[in-house]
Amino acid sequence: MVLLQQDKQEIINTYQTHPTDTGSADVQVAILTERIKSLSGHLKTNSKDHSSRRGLMKMIGQRKRLLAYIAKHDRQHYRDLIARLGIRG
């Protein structure tokens, strides 16, 4: 459920907009997406873990707000990002 430091660093390197970028909206969305995937797998085997389910819902809401921010400022960048992440069907 927790991302290892090296995995997190790989995500940051992939989605950063400039060499010192570690917290832009793109990077945050990418990290949240990985955490959501991990937690979803956990919940498939532990269906009665309601506290983790609540945490998953909070992460999904946070990612949704960040994606709305990106979409509001640059629609094409938003489309490219969700295509790279493989979300929104």
What gap in Å lies between CA 10 and CA 8, rounded to an integer? Answer: 5
pTM beyond cutoff 0.75: yes
- Please say whether the beta carbons of 26 and 49 come within 8 A: no
Domain 5-85 matching CATH 1.10.287.10: the answer reads yes
Please, which pLDDT band fits residue 53 given cuts at 50, 70 and 90? Answer: very high
- Please say whether the beta carbons of 26 and 71 come within 8 A: no
User: In this predicted structure, what is the pLDDT of residue 88?
Assistant: 82
How do the domains of the chain map onto residue ranges?
Answer: 5-85
H helices within the chain, ranges in order?
A: 5-15, 25-45, 50-73, 75-85
* Mean per-residue pLDDT, 65-87: 97
User: In this predicted structure, what is the pLDDT of residue 1?
Assistant: 66
> Any idea of the CA torsion for 60, 56, 20, 4, to the nearest 10 degrees?
-150
